[in-house]
Amino acid sequence: MTDLTGKTTLITGASRGIGAETARVFAAAGANVALLARSAEQIADLAGEIGPKAVAIPCDISRYWEVEQAVANCVKAFGGLDVLVNNAGVIEPIACLNEVDPEGWGQVIDINLKGVFHGIHAALPVMQRQGGGTILTISSGAAHNPIEGWAHYCASKAGAAMLTRCLHTEMAGKGIRAMGLSPGTVATQMQREIKASGINRVSKLDWSDHIPADWPARALLWMCGPEADGHLGEELSLRDEAIRQKVGLA
């Protein structure tokens, strides 16, 4: 397991699902973890579960000033920032383009795309002062394939995937390691929302078809180590058996 003793990780969307599991996995690997989410009570409970290596920072990532302040609070708590995990994402409202609420559609873009940019922009100055860092962003197969009722999600994930590529192009020579992770379908609350929508093929999947949330968490940890350096600037997919074997997943 990658050793992150003495390193600090900031995780967005840390209140549940992949974000919460990532916090647990990274803390177990020795990292300090700053937990960001709008759900203050949930991240406070998770920080209490993890212990002194965790701090809960309520934050709406769609607002840049809140993200900037959250990064400052992380640095104040732990002295620096080594890893940013851009995990926060939403998919509601699920609806076709001719029926969807425009305001709700825009909020998904604000969180899934602008939120990723906000995290990158706020973290980079800290990482550059330290001489480098790792920025990992949760992507999706939806970034590359249109899915009925998910135009906002597909568009936002496609944009976030391109942000990773742009970040690598601009900052790889300045010590910034940038990668994306496409986990496939994961057994989280988002899948319950998708199931309830009844729209498109993904909503028809059985719960047993989804991977557990600790799989992408373990993959993200592996991506922080030198073994993943051959994938810098890329999007790794947990549907790829070769990647699963590298990470050590069944």
Q: Residue 76: which residues within 8 A CB-CB, separation 6 or more?
A: none
CA 83: distance to chain centroid? Answer: 11
* Nearest Cα residue to 171 out of 116, 132, 139: 132
Dist. CA 125–CA 83, nearest whole Å: 13
Selecting among 78, 153, 215, 222, the annotated active-site residue is 153
Q: Is 153 a catalytic residue?
A: yes
Dist. CA 146–CA 194, nearest whole Å: 15
CB 216 within 8 A of CB 175: no
Residue 179 main-chain phi, psi, to 5 deg: -150, 160
Q: What does the block give as tokens for 110?
A: 């604000």
CB 66 within 8 A of CB 36: no
* Single-letter code of the amino acid located at 210: H
Residues with catalytic roles: 153
